Every structure is written in structure tokens, then in C-alpha cells.
């Protein structure tokens, strides 16, 4: 993993110039009742077994909490600090190195040199050159846990390529906001 990408573990899913390609997945307990959910509390953050300080940055934690609180408040949910809430919210993060291999026809279908010749054979392998790039992929997982039973009832996951360029704290917050907005756009599940 590139240390510069992980410094402070700022997940840079969307850049200011445009949105990054991302994968969004959600899952939920079909037996859970979502209609009565009104109040929530944050769960105690979990640590990785190795206690990776790069993945547990207080600045990133503040950004996630701020973004989730804003989206849930906008949707009519209320955060409480004592008592038993209707649900708990928690999050997890991960970074992994990915390899992307692709090939490109660098000759535009023509043989070396300009013009046709009798040695050209369509589909001949020499006209393609493989390329390989490595990059870091970040994942943010939001969990919704039932307040009484403490059972997971909903999970949303957002994965995207991390940016290689340094960003300002404001840009970092915008990226986290965009990811959280996407994840929570599917909570509660439609028709539940």
C-alpha cells in the first residue's frame, strides 16, 4: 500500500474534478422492522487486531460521524446519548492494494508502418500491448444494529479507488459526505 494514500486514512472516493467509479452494496435482515426506527446512538469503534493507527484516525472518525449524523438528521432520525435507542450505527474501514490488467490495441488495427501490406493478419496478437497498474481501493462499511437485540439489521458498503493526490481537509470531508450519502440513500430499505 502506498503510505501517502493512507496517511491519516482519508478515503478519497470522489475527487473535486468529478466522481470516482464506485461500488455500492447493501444487505438487510428481511425479518427486521424498519418503520419504527426514530432514534440512534453510535457504537464504540472497533479496532483491527493489529490496531493499525492509519486505519483509525480521529480526523477520519470525526468526518464519518459528522456525515452520518447530517444525513440521518435530514431524514428525520434523532441521535440520543443515553437510554436505549431504536438502532445503533457503526462503521468499519479497509484498504487493499488492487491490480488492474488491461490490453490496448496500440496499432489501431494496422500493422507497423503506414499502409497495408501482405504480412498483416487481422486479430494477430502482436497488435495488443498489456498494461498493468496498481492502486489502493478503500472500503467504508456502515452497520445498522437493532437497539434492543443488538443484532445487525442493515449493512451498506462503498468501495472506490483512492486518490493519489493530496487533498485539503474540506475536500476530504466532501469525499466522505459523498460516500455516506450514497450508502444511506438505501437506508431504510425501500418498502420496509
What structural domains and CATH numbers belong to the chain?
A: 3-105+125-184 (3.30.160)
- Residue of 41, 12, 10 whose CA lies nearest to 160: 12
Buried b (16+ CB within 10 A) or exposed e, 9-29: bbbbbbbeeeebebeeebebb
Q: For residue range 123-171, list pLDDT tens digits in order.
A: 554 455 677 777 678 889 999 999 999 999 999 999 988 777 778 899 9
Average pLDDT over residues 111-134: 56
Instruction: Measure the CA dihedral 54/58/59/61, to 10°.
Output: 100
| DSSP conformational letter for 21 | P
Q: In the prediction, which pLDDT does 55 show?
A: 60
pLDDT of 115 above 60: no
> How many residues belong to the chain?
192
Q: For residue range 60-78, list pLDDT tens digits in order.
A: 889 999 999 999 999 999 9
pTM above 0.85, yes or no: no
Q: Percentage of the chain surpassing pLDDT 70? A: 67
Average pLDDT over residues 40-57: 65
Q: In the prediction, which pLDDT does 5 show?
A: 40
Amino acid at each position: 500500500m502506498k503510505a501517502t494514500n493512507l496517511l491519516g486514512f482519508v478515503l478519497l472516493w470522489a475527487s473535486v474534478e468529478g466522481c470516482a467509479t464506485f461500488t455500492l452494496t447493501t444487505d438487510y435482515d428481511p425479518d427486521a422492522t424498519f418503520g419504527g426506527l426514530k432514534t440512534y446512538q453510535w457504537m464504540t469503534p472497533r479496532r483491527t487486531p493489529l490496531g493499525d493507527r492509519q486505519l483509525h484516525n480521529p480526523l477520519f472518525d470525526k468526518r464519518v460521524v459528522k456525515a452520518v449524523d447530517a444525513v440521518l438528521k435530514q431524514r428525520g432520525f434523532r441521535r440520543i446519548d443515553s437510554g436505549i435507542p431504536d438502532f445503533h450505527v457503526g462503521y468499519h474501514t479497509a484498504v487493499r492494494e488492487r491490480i488492474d490488467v488491461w490490453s490496448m490495441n496500440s496499432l489501431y488495427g494496422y500493422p507497423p508502418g503506414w499502409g497495408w501490406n501482405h504480412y498483416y493478419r487481422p486479430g494477430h496478437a502482436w497488435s495488443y500491448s498489456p498494461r498493468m497498474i496498481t492502486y489502493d481501493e478503500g472500503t467504508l462499511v456502515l452497520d445498522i444494529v437493532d437497539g434492543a437485540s443488538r443484532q445487525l439489521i442493515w449493512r451498506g458498503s462503498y468501495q472506490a479507488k483512492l486518490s493519489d493526490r493530496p487533498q485539503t481537509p474540506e475536500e476530504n470531508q466532501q469525499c466522505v459526505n459523498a460516500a455516506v450519502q450514497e450508502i444511506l440513500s438505501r437506508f431504510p430499505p425501500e418498502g420496509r
